[in-house]
Structure 1
Amino acid sequence: MTSTTTARDAGRAPAGAAAQERPRFGDLLAAEWLKLWAPRSTLWSLLIAGLAVVAINAGTAYDTHRYWSRNSAEDAAEFIRAGIPLQEAFTVNAVVVLMLSTGAIGALCLVAEYRTGLIRTTFAAVPARRSLMTAKVLVVAAVMTGFGALVACCSFWLTQAILSTKGVGVPIDHPGAWHLVVASALLAPVSALVGMALGAVLRHSGATLVSCFVLLLLLPIALSDDRYWTAVVGHAMPYKAWLRLAEINTTDALYPWTSTGAWGVLALWPLAAAATAVVTVDRRDV
Structure 2
Amino acid sequence: MSTATMNKPAHATGSGVNFVRSLHSEWIKFTTLRSTWILLATTIVVMIGIGMLGAWGMGSGMESIRESGQDPAAMGMDESMLYMMATGGIDFGQLIIGALGVLLIASEYSTGMIRSTMTAVPGRLSPLAAKAVVVAAVAAVVGIVSSFATYFLSQPILAGYGLDYGLDVENFVQSLLLSGVYLALVALMGLALGSLLRNSAGGIVTLVALLLVLPIVASILQFDWIQDGVVPYLPSNAGRQLLALEIADGDLTQLQGGLVMAAWTAVLLAAAAVTTKSRDV
| 2:201 is the alignment partner of 1:202 | no
Aligned amino acid, residue 174 of structure 1: V
Residue 190 (structure 1) aligns with: 185
| 1:177 CA drift (Å) | 1.4
| 2:235 is the alignment partner of 1:241 | no
Residue 86 (structure 1) aligns with: 83
CA–CA distance in 2 between the matches of 1:217 and 1:249?
Answer: 23
Would the aligned equivalents of 2:139 and 2:187 in 1 still touch at CA under 8 Å? yes
| 1:123 CA drift (Å) | 1.2
| 2:258 is the alignment partner of 1:263 | yes
1:170 partner SS: coil
| 2:36 is the alignment partner of 1:42 | yes
1:223 partner SS: helix
Would the aligned equivalents of 1:80 and 1:168 in 2 still touch at CA under 8 Å? no
Aligned amino acid, residue 123 of structure 1: M
Q: Percent identity?
A: 31
Q: Aligned runs of 1:104-183 on 2, under 5 Å?
A: 104-183=99-178
Would the aligned equivalents of 2:175 and 2:245 in 1 still touch at CA under 8 Å? no
Aligned amino acid, residue 199 of structure 2: H
Would the aligned equivalents of 2:60 and 2:161 in 1 still touch at CA under 8 Å? no
Residue 48 (structure 2) aligns with: 54
Would the aligned equivalents of 1:130 and 1:279 in 2 still touch at CA under 8 Å? no
Gap change, CA 1:243 and 1:282, over 3 Å in 2: same
2:230 partner SS: helix
Would the aligned equivalents of 2:155 and 2:165 in 1 still touch at CA under 8 Å? yes
Would the aligned equivalents of 2:170 and 2:245 in 1 still touch at CA under 8 Å? no
Unmatched tracts of structure 2, length 5 or more:
none
Aligned amino acid, residue 169 of structure 2: H
CA–CA distance in 1 between the matches of 2:117 and 2:159?
Answer: 52
* Residue-by-residue CA offset, 1:123-169 (whole Å, 9 max, x unaligned): 11111211222111111111111111111111222224422332222
Would the aligned equivalents of 1:151 and 1:185 in 2 still touch at CA under 8 Å? no
Gap change, CA 1:80 and 1:230, over 3 Å in 2: closer
| 1:280 CA drift (Å) | 2.6
CA–CA distance in 2 between the matches of 1:177 and 1:249?
Answer: 10
Aligned amino acid, residue 125 of structure 1: A
Match for 2:229 among 232, 251, 262?
232
| 1:51 CA drift (Å) | 0.4
How well do the aligned residues superpose, as a CA RMSD in angstroms?
Answer: 3.1
Gap change, CA 1:244 and 1:133, over 3 Å in 2: closer
CA–CA distance in 2 between the matches of 1:223 and 1:58?
Answer: 30
Gap change, CA 1:214 and 1:248, over 3 Å in 2: farther
Residue 22 (structure 1) aligns with: 16
TM-score normalised per structure 2: 0.84
| 1:227 CA drift (Å) | 1.7
| 2:281 is the alignment partner of 1:283 | no
Would the aligned equivalents of 2:106 and 2:198 in 1 still touch at CA under 8 Å? yes
| 1:246 CA drift (Å) | 4.1
CA–CA distance in 1 between the matches of 2:5 and 2:104?
Answer: 49
Unmatched tracts of structure 1, length 5 or more:
none
TM-score normalised per structure 1: 0.83
Aligned amino acid, residue 211 of structure 2: L
CA–CA distance in 2 between the matches of 1:267 and 1:209?
Answer: 19
* Residue-by-residue CA offset, 1:231-250 (whole Å, 9 max, x unaligned): 33332233112443444997
| 1:274 CA drift (Å) | 3.7
**Paired residues, what number?**
275
* Residue-by-residue CA offset, 1:73-126 (whole Å, 9 max, x unaligned): x968999965211132222xx233111101100000001111111111111111
